[in-house]
Amino acid sequence: MHKSGNKPDVALKSLWSDLSNAGLNDSLLEVPSISTGVQTGYGPVRLALGLDSELRVLVPCGEDTLFCEFDSSSRLTVEVVKYSCNGNKSLFIDITCREEALNAVFSELADEILRRLSDGKAPAEAVSGTISDFKILLKADPPASVSFSVVLGLLGEWAVLREMSRFGVNPADCWQGPWEQRHDFRAGNLALEVKTTSRSDSVSVKIAGHDQLLPPAAGELVLVLVRMEPVSNGRVTVGGLFGELINAGVKPLRLRAGLAELGCLDPYADEWNRNRFELQSMSAWRVVDGFPRLTHKEFPGGIIPPGVSRLSYVIDTTHAEEFSITSDDFTKYLKRMIT
């Protein structure tokens, strides 16, 4: 039997904090825990802590769950266990985060499990499906250091994504930047390539690859230059933009997956937010015949010279003024990409 309960409207981090700091326990369960209020049909989902303060989620379930297999690892353990509650034994899917660095991801995983349970999913299905969707995040390793250029590039792409989110349609699926695709955004035969600079007066764009400015087959490509100026008290940060995008309805899982590709496990972590910026401007150009660029078409016979494996060059956009598009036309192009 399964029935949905209330929507998960509790702050999970706050509940775990209550357990940790105040030792709050609102049940007779042998494991100190606190209810989320979300029902599975076998009781409310509960949050708990391990012996070393590991974050845990206890999902009440039925006997049929004993025959289910879950994707468990050294970072995330999942097992079906029985705990005593007021003298009776109850079954739970016990999900435990084994790495503190993954706490932020685990919190979102727990929230997604609660959402799926509230939508009527059975306990095993909600847990296994969510873990599968979060697999790439749970396997990500943080980099030894976070480079200025990676943060700058991410913020430039997210600034464009924020513009897309104004149309009330989720645009995250067309974001390709972290996955090293040819273009940073792709929707059908429409594409965007985003370059970001920390100089407010920059007119130069560095292109990496001989086909980076080649539009999709029978499609269109727009090049965008985002100018972000480093400011000690700047309003643009990774954590700030992440929150804005989520509030605008952008899928958090897609954003998290992109961050994981960059080695970011927590968009609010200090190392990803020590650099702050102010958005100065965006400029855009249609990349069509005549635009200053290098592709394989510019080489004799359309063939890159033997021995040339990597090509990068710089465009002076003052020589591309005839291809520039207005802010209104840029907005219309973004809207076309996601509608």
3-state secondary structure labels for all residues of 103-130:
HHHHHHHHHHHHHHHHCCCCHHHHHHHH
Q: Which residues contact 214 (CB under 8 A, 6 or more apart)?
A: 182, 221, 295, 296, 297
Model pTM score: 0.77
Q: How many helices and strands, by DSSP H and E, does the chain display?
A: 9, 11
From the number of C-beta atoms within 10 Å of its C-beta (0-12, 13-18, 19+), residue 9 rates as exposed
Phi, psi of 277 (to 5 degrees): -140, 165
Within 10 angstroms of residue 91's Cβ, the number of other Cβ atoms is 20
Given a contact cutoff of 8 angstroms between Cβ atoms, the answer to whether 224 and 212 are in contact is no
Measured between alpha carbons, how far is 195 from 227 in angstroms, rounded to an integer?
9
Instruction: Please list the pLDDT of the chain residue by residue as tens digits (339 residues).
Output: 333 334 443 477 778 877 777 666 666 677 888 889 999 999 999 999 888 889 999 999 999 999 888 988 888 999 999 998 777 889 999 999 998 888 888 998 999 999 999 999 999 999 999 999 998 888 877 777 899 999 999 999 999 999 999 986 778 999 999 998 889 999 999 999 999 999 989 999 999 888 899 999 999 999 999 999 999 999 999 999 999 999 998 988 899 999 989 989 889 989 999 999 999 999 999 999 999 998 877 788 878 888 887 788 999 999 999 999 999 999 999 999 988
Phi, psi of 281 (to 5 degrees): -170, 165
